[in-house]
Chains A and B, each alone.
Chain A
């Protein structure tokens, strides 16, 4: 398996624009996670899906952020409108179940100018 695949690897956008990050989890994994990593706050869990259903989205910072998982092999994280403070590395991770180890993608480095 190729592991968790994220795209794009890098994204530079202007403030106010919509940004969509994409993730393909490992085949057979039932849980998917979106994380954000910054120097100041480290890794923060944004949202957790189990069997394509959002289980916990308490980490989503505000209504500008939304995530979907239309099927078991694809998820998106959307920011609309984007702001400079959204600049961070966004990671997608998947696991066989919610209690087992998660495998992370390479991340998307987002810069909002």
Chain B
């Protein structure tokens, strides 16, 4: 059964305290893995797409990596404005499966 699991469910960090979010998946035939950020009351906002194991993408304080079983979203020296829910999604065939997200709170 195709499945996407994100951990932890919630994460509280002090400003400047780096950490990583995990997205593990079991799907048959990965076509792509997507990371999104969602702020309360808004739609998910695209961050990264990863297509193959070993691939890495960076944007400001965020870096996404991909292996054959999981993806990590590394957050370096986070700021309060990085507080949001981070969602990962995997595409297999014509299906997209989202994880339930990690709620990140960065405390000033």
Mark A residues whose CB is within 8 Å of B.
Answer: 4, 33, 42-45, 48, 55-56, 58, 91, 93, 98-107
Stretch at the interface among B12-20, B21-29, B66-74, B94-102: B94-102
Contact A91 B43 (CB under 8 A): yes
Contact B43 A93 (CB under 8 A): yes
Contact A104 B45 (CB under 8 A): yes
B42 at the interface (CB under 8 A from A): yes
CA distance A107 to B39 in the complex (A): 12
- The main secondary structure of chain B at its interface with chain A is strand
Residue of A nearest to B35 (CB): A101
Tell me the smallest distance from the CB of A19 to a CB of chain B, in Å.
19
CA distance A107 to B42 in the complex (A): 7
CA distance A104 to B87 in the complex (A): 13
Say whether, besides A42-B98, A45-B95, A56-B95, A99 and B31 are in contact (CB < 8 Å). yes
Contacts of A55 in B (CB 8 A): 94
Tell me the smallest distance from the CB of B34 to a CB of chain A, in Å.
6
Interface centre among B89, B94, B100 (most CB of A within 10 A): B94
Contact A99 B44 (CB under 8 A): no
